[in-house]
Chain A
Amino acid sequence: MDFIKEKAPPVREDRLKACNAFGGSCCQLAEGARKGCLNGIKRTFAQTQGCQLNLSMAILNTLRNAVIIIHAPIGCGGGSTAMAGLTKNFQKLRDAKAPGLIWLNTNLDESDVIKGGESKLREAVLYADREFRPSAIIVANSCVPALIGDDLDGILAQLQAEVAAKIVPVHCEGFKTKIQASAYDAVYHGILRNLVDVREEYERVIPDELEELAENYRRSKTVNILNVSSMSRFDEDELTRLLRALELNARFMPCYAHPDDFETVTEAALNVSICATHDDYFVGHLQAQYGIPFVLRAIPIGIMNTNKWLRDIGKFFTIEDRVERLIEAETRELEKALAPYREALRGKRAFLAGGEIRVLANATALVELGLEVVGLKGYHYDGFGDDFLNDLDLSDEVLFNVATGQPFEQSNLLERLKPDIYVGHTGGNVWAAKQGFPVYPIFGQTVNYMGYNGVFELARRLTRLLKNPVFNRNLAANTRLPYFEDWYKQDPFSYIDDSPAQSNG
């Protein structure tokens, strides 16, 4: 993989043939993805979704001691208003003195649309440096300056000579891609080009072999775990606990990292992803550029997936025996702990919605707990899902909806499927709630979802949620969704138009 010389990364429609509109069985999905004929499918009725810029903020906002500049009209990045308080608290879990989330918007107006917004950007960068003295100034480019042709990289290259902070341009213009997850590549691209650095190593004046050996040993036992903004500090603690049992030292990035942390990203033996959708661009480039190997395929959610994640790491370090002993001890203890919950959960029918990998991994975890998966919705789909689908081995009747948001399709599906529990993503949960279904949020930044403890938490929380589902039932009885009754009689995928994809194929 080598896109690093380009100003901006390719979008995922092109790089991974990702799609965000599909409805059908899991078999058809896997088949379609293999043939590459899902790419280009569109909707003739659509509801809003996020864009690259929104999702880029999910990572960028977490960085400690950085100022974000949204180069855009005043509304872009507005979602951060809801996140400022929370982000500071989460940053403080990593550094008590973290300044919290600071962002500027360049406030492009009608005259900037004609004359260009370069002077405002310049002013904002200088202000950010002077006012906050951050380690990094991250400039997120939006649709408007991209269309009027502001030379973002040119201006920022000039400004770099005038400010102390490292400037990081991020090309996350919303209109360029339907696949929100392209944001991850946009962010990593900016980090790779501007923050990742191999520090020059000086020869020691007084040679110290012991110290050098110690340093090399440390690096040989250090892994970078690439965290996602939707995980919690508790998740990190759980993964750290497991790696410590293998005498490995875990470092977490990019989320909640200090911008300077990326300077030492190469001082590790292995990059460990917990979500391929999130990290393939980053780990691919770190391998190509710096020769650091990676493991990518597993996400430590559910028993089998956590085992797989550990085994991949164990294989790299050739400590397979130790990993097997750890897995054996962990799963034995977990099974005992799960026993009291299995009765309450057995045979419960679940619908899952959220990010591609997260949905599939959680589906596996639910099956492990004895639940039945009756339908899935992934925000997008690409080849990274194939292994998970294989592992799940769902029957042909189970429908898979690929939809970024699009709650109208989901509401129709839920009306038909009537699951016992809905496992879903922020923004989509409310609609299932108003249909009366108990909701288990598929991610949360204050709860443990990962590793073996995460499985116990899942079992414990599902059981609790099913104990008293009346809040949502009352909502269903007293509110209504905005669709005509007739909509529920239509095929849920009526507004997915695959003719463009067929003609391409």
Chain B
Amino acid sequence: MSKFVDRPRYTCALGGAIGTLINLPRVIPVLHAAAGCGGNIANALNGAAGYLGSGYCSGQALPSSNVYENEIVFGGEGRLTEQIANTLKVVDGDLYVVVTGCMVEMIGDDAKSVARKFAGNRAPVLAADTGGFKGNSFKGYDIVLELLFRELVIKNQSKDPKTVNLWGIVPIQDVFWKGNLEVLKTLLEKLGYRVNTFFGEGETLDNLKNAASAVFNIVVSDTAGVEPARVFEEEHGTPFITVPFPIGTYGTEQFLNAVGKALGIEEAFINRLIQEEKKHFYSYLERLADVYNDLDLQRYAVVVGDSNYAQALTRFLADDLGWLPELVVVTDLLTENEQERVTARFGNYLSPIRPKLVFDSDTSSVKKHLFNHWPINRNQRYYDGFNPAFVVGSAFERDLADSLGAPHLSVTYPISNRVVLDRAYAGYTGALRLAEDLFSTLVGSR
């Protein structure tokens, strides 16, 4: 079914699992894998996610069994046992999670049963099979969440009607995840809810352990984290909704209405929040009224990225900024079902824009889709070209932007040409940041 990928924008299940675990507070991944797996993944995580860096215990510090030919022939469980025991002595964490690479799974090492030998230790040791051939980073995120929801989250907790969990924003694959989680948390707090985001600011492992006390789970994605939400429901009886990742006033309004409806919040209360937020948003966006109109800053746009960002960016560009996102390329590896769910998010625009949507994981395809979509220059006297244009995608899209002579902003993974700290693009405040960054690019030469 699947095929090769031209410049993939994700690593493997193991990479996604590591990216997920290192962004949980004081959680230590223990790799049971060939030596290069961690090194390769660390390069992809650190250098391609806005210079995330090696963090508390990532990069070269990742504990790893580093199996070689000998273990591949004779089995690696002995080496893993030794590695876990010594990791517990050297590395200071509150939870240790063994994650496996392809080779040890292919030879049939049972990481879970090795991990179980460490039950009763000062900190729990869990294990997940995350062999790279199982899928890409998003799969790794799902596997880890499923493991944690099954084995770490405490069962039979009494529900607190004012607490919700929120996930679906994948650390690293969303380079702005931490800022984005903070924005959405703050929004829901304004509705009177406590929000566990697990990966956001100020979260502790206890928030995760006590996650079953939440009354509802909000998955901010149509693809990532959906399976774990089913597992959560099965294990802890907590219902969930999936909502699209929101950027800008229209996207966030949809988000708030969907959440409000699911939680049974009075419509008027939601509307009041929406009005307040919009007022704040326009108190700043208003400043662009001059320059946008003096310089005619409406742009055609190409949007390239994962399914979360693609729909959110398109809606923001079309419905908030009045731009013309002509082509949208979703680069995830999705099933047909997932593609249908994602496609559904590209309708119902306020603006008359109907972007051309394609699912294609190959980086060099973006240009081909644009040429198929937009009439090419046949050397006619008058040509309605694809300009003025803007490319919103990853660092990979710089080549496309250069060839179009268009400016470019890296918003989706990989981002190697920007430094990202606590910046957020989600919600109303995030949309202001995005407007700043887009228009700063346009006036950058002045």
List chain A positions with a Cβ less than 8 A from chain B: 43-54, 69, 72-86, 88, 100, 102-113, 120, 123-124, 127, 131-132, 143-144, 147-148, 174-178, 180, 404-408, 427-428, 430-431, 481-484, 487, 495
Q: Is the CB of A430 within 8 A of B36?
A: no
Residues from chain B with Cβ under 8 Å of A69 in the complex: 4
CB distance from A141 to the nearest CB of B (A): 13
Which of B36, B37, B92, B131 has the most A CB atoms < 10 Å from its CB? B36
Q: Is the CB of A82 within 8 A of B416?
A: yes
For the complex, what is the distance from the CA of A44 to the CA of B65, rounded to whole Å? 8
Q: Is the CB of B53 within 8 A of A430?
A: yes
Q: Is the CB of A175 within 8 A of B72?
A: yes
A105-B4, A407-B61 known; A175 and B90 CB under 8 Å?
no
Residues from chain B with Cβ under 8 Å of A44 in the complex: 82-83, 86
A45-B90, A74-B132, A82-B48 known; A175 and B103 CB under 8 Å?
yes
Residue of B7, B36, B72 near A54 (CB, 8 A) is B36
- 5 A-B pairs whose Cβ atoms sit less than 8 Å apart in the complex: A78-B43, A105-B8, A109-B133, A177-B68, A484-B91
Q: Is the CB of B86 within 8 A of A113?
A: no
Interface flags, B111-145, vs A, CB<8A=1, else 0:
00000000000000000000111111100000000
Residues from chain A with Cβ under 8 Å of B12 in the complex: 73-76, 78
Residues from chain B with Cβ under 8 Å of A110 in the complex: 133-134
CB distance from B401 to the nearest CB of A (A): 12
Q: Is the CB of B9 within 8 A of A49?
A: no
List chain B positions with a Cβ less than 8 A from chain A: 1-15, 28, 31, 34-44, 46-48, 53-54, 56-57, 59-69, 72, 82-83, 86-87, 89-93, 102-103, 106, 131-137, 333, 364, 395-396, 398-399, 413-414, 416-417
CB distance from B64 to the nearest CB of A (A): 4
Residues from chain A with Cβ under 8 Å of B14 in the complex: 75
Residues from chain B with Cβ under 8 Å of A482 in the complex: 28, 56-57, 61, 91-93
For the complex, what is the distance from the CA of A239 to the CA of B367, rounded to whole Å? 41
Residues from chain B with Cβ under 8 Å of A487 in the complex: 89-90
Q: Is the CB of B48 within 8 A of A143?
A: no
CB distance from B81 to the nearest CB of A (A): 11
Q: Is the CB of A73 within 8 A of B54?
A: no
Residue of B7, B9, B10, B416 near A102 (CB, 8 A) is B7
A82-B47, A85-B417 known; A48 and B54 CB under 8 Å?
no
Q: Is the CB of A78 within 8 A of B44?
A: yes
Q: Is the CB of B4 within 8 A of A483?
A: no
CB distance from A470 to the nearest CB of B (A): 19
Q: Is the CB of A483 within 8 A of B91?
A: yes
Q: Is the CB of B4 within 8 A of A45?
A: no
Residue of A73, A75, A111, A178 near B35 (CB, 8 A) is A178
For the complex, what is the distance from the CA of A202 to the CA of B322, rounded to whole Å? 66
Q: Which residue of A lies closest to B361 (CB)?
A: A107
Q: Is the CB of A78 within 8 A of B39?
A: no
Q: Is the CB of B4 within 8 A of A405?
A: no
Q: Is the CB of B53 within 8 A of A178?
A: no
For the complex, what is the distance from the CA of A439 to the CA of B404, rounded to whole Å? 41
Residues from chain A with Cβ under 8 Å of B40 in the complex: 50-51, 53-54, 75-79
Q: Which residue of B lies closest to A173 (CB)?
A: B34
For the complex, what is the distance from the CA of A131 to the CA of B13, rounded to whole Å? 28
Q: Is the CB of A178 within 8 A of B106?
A: no
CB distance from A80 to the nearest CB of B (A): 8
Q: Which residue of A lies closest to B82 (CB)?
A: A44
Q: Is the CB of B31 within 8 A of A48?
A: yes
CB distance from B243 to the nearest CB of A (A): 28
CB distance from A124 to the nearest CB of B (A): 4
Residues from chain A with Cβ under 8 Å of B399 in the complex: 88, 100
Counting from the closest, the 6 A-B pairs by CB-CB distance are A51-B36, A48-B38, A75-B12, A82-B47, A79-B43, A45-B86
A102-B7, A174-B35, A174-B37 known; A46 and B68 CB under 8 Å?
no
Residue of A45, A81, A106, A484 near B83 (CB, 8 A) is A45
CB distance from B138 to the nearest CB of A (A): 11
For the complex, what is the distance from the CA of A487 to the CA of B28, rounded to whole Å? 16
Residue of B11, B38, B69 near A49 (CB, 8 A) is B38
Q: Is the CB of A51 within 8 A of B34?
A: yes
For the complex, what is the distance from the CA of A88 to the CA of B63, rounded to whole Å? 33
For the complex, what is the distance from the CA of A406 to the CA of B7, rounded to whole Å? 30
Residue of B1, B4, B66 near A48 (CB, 8 A) is B66
Residue of A82, A132, A175, A481 near B34 (CB, 8 A) is A175
CB distance from A427 to the nearest CB of B (A): 5
Q: Is the CB of B59 within 8 A of A427?
A: yes
Q: Which residue of B lies closest to A412 (CB)?
A: B90
Q: Is the CB of A81 within 8 A of B44?
A: yes
Q: Is the CB of B44 within 8 A of A79?
A: yes
Q: Which residue of A lies closest to B413 (CB)?
A: A81
For the complex, what is the distance from the CA of A406 to the CA of B135, rounded to whole Å? 29
Q: Is the CB of A428 within 8 A of B364?
A: no
Contacts A82-B47, A430-B53 supplied; 7 other A-B pairs, CB < 8 Å: A46-B66, A54-B39, A81-B416, A109-B133, A131-B364, A174-B35, A482-B61
CB distance from A35 to the nearest CB of B (A): 22
Residues from chain B with Cβ under 8 Å of A106 in the complex: 4
Residues from chain B with Cβ under 8 Å of A74 in the complex: 5, 8, 10-12, 132, 135-136
CB distance from B5 to the nearest CB of A (A): 5
Q: Is the CB of A143 within 8 A of B41?
A: no
Residue of B41, B54, B68 near A430 (CB, 8 A) is B54
Q: Is the CB of B63 within 8 A of A46?
A: yes
For the complex, what is the distance from the CA of A45 to the CA of B86, rounded to whole Å? 6
Q: Is the CB of B34 within 8 A of A47?
A: no
Residues from chain B with Cβ under 8 Å of A52 in the complex: 36
A51-B34, A85-B417, A175-B103 known; A431 and B132 CB under 8 Å?
no
For the complex, what is the distance from the CA of A69 to the CA of B10, rounded to whole Å? 16
